[in-house]
Chain A
């Protein structure tokens, strides 16, 4: 039987507010999640004011628009948002689309043709002067920028991180 300080991957537990409130080893805190979106992508912490964050599965963090008693033993709560418990935290495609419109940093703007290849899952040599790592990829649609998902930028190459089931030939 696992101790109370281990993650139980079968249920939703709310993230502790801060490290001082943490009882489960290795669990991300709300403070860290909000800071991650702010520090890496410039997303204002107020964007998440009405959200609670939850862990189910190893390091899978979910954003839920509301309050709920815990723990919750159900299939899904809100949307998957972030992979933690790895060296570099990684936003999901769906969270990048949902919250990436608020991003002001580490956003790479793609042309329509680059966007087409990105959503088809292709890696592309694209110039980028900023940090390496997980970027929000965006393009202009209906006259405004719109996030497409997450790309991994390494060695002058943008690697599409769109999951197979979300890839499209457009």
Chain B
């Protein structure tokens, strides 16, 4: 049985969903505004004869036609970073401002963390953490190539993260883009579901919950925490939010994005979730021709 079949009750036009999941994804890159402007990066692509389009919801992304990012001058100069289109969503929802202290809890290989730094004009602090030392070297490589100077990199377990190395007590914002079952990446990686099991989902949901809890605790009152996964499983999405809402002082808030999305769900296989999880957004592959994603914005209460 295909693991995605269980989402038939959730997805309108399931045939279109299935068909989209079987189509490979095109190559997308984000313009890194730390090193250049969107306009100049696009001029460089024109100069090289690389054809591209930008999605309406995010003019700083380029969908490349017939080449990969790595083969462009823009990539060498750190102007372009290959990043799946929908992966650019959570950092835009987190929306850091110059001077903010931002926690990227599971940051490697760094696409979203470097995007956070760019959104804050590389002014402030992005603490990019990852538990996996091997993946941290990819994060550091990317951060340096993209010219990020406002990042501090740590190698810890995010679930019991300590602010001890730093001289401040709480973050202004956090991006909690957790390890997940990656069902939404099937278009990029056809092997993504080879290891799929319900047991695995339940185990990873526990890890996700502890990371999100810790991020909420480490963010100041009134601050923003964004929770995201690249999967459809309600056990990893709404159920994790529901559990964290239960134990931590925070609430799910509405946000706007130009993508076509569906609301978070409040019921799954007999379990009921807090009604506010509806404010989260589900991104299905057939709606915008992207990968699959889940994103929720939380406000930390006093």
Q: Give the distance in Å from the alpha carbon of A68 to the alpha carbon of B44 in the complex.
A: 37
B contact residues around A68 at 8 Å (CB): 125, 152, 166-167
Q: Which of A79, A146, A165, A170 contacts B143 (CB 8 A)?
A: A79
Using CB atoms, name the residue of chain A closest to B128.
Answer: A76
B71, B143, B145, most chain A CB atoms within 10 A = B145
Contact B71 A74 (CB under 8 A): no
B220 at the interface (CB under 8 A from A): no
Contact B76 A148 (CB under 8 A): yes
A36-53 CB contact bits vs B (8 Å, 1 = yes)?
Answer: 000000000000001100
A57 at the interface (CB under 8 A from B): no
Q: Which of A51, A78, A119 contacts B151 (CB 8 A)?
A: A78
Q: Number of contacting residues on B, CB 8 A?
A: 36
B contact residues around A78 at 8 Å (CB): 148-152
Q: Which of B122, B145, B150, B165 contacts A94 (CB 8 A)?
A: B145
Q: Number of contacting residues on A, CB 8 A?
A: 32
B232-265 CB contact bits vs A (8 Å, 1 = yes)?
Answer: 0000000000000000000000000000000000
B200 at the interface (CB under 8 A from A): no
B35 at the interface (CB under 8 A from A): yes
Q: A160 → chain B, closest Cβ, in Å?
A: 13
Contact A170 B71 (CB under 8 A): yes
Q: Give the distance in Å from the alpha carbon of A65 to the alpha carbon of B99 in the complex.
A: 10
Q: Give the distance in Å from the alpha carbon of A79 to the alpha carbon of B34 in the complex.
A: 13
A-B contact pairs, 13 of them (CB 8 A): A63-B149, A65-B122, A68-B167, A69-B166, A78-B151, A79-B143, A79-B144, A79-B148, A97-B78, A119-B76, A141-B44, A148-B76, A170-B76
Residues of B within 8 A of A (CB): 35, 40-41, 43-44, 47, 70-73, 75-78, 122-125, 136, 140-141, 143-145, 147-155, 165-167
A-B CB proximity, top 10 nearest? A69-B167, A76-B153, A142-B43, A98-B147, A65-B149, A94-B144, A75-B153, A142-B44, A65-B150, A78-B149
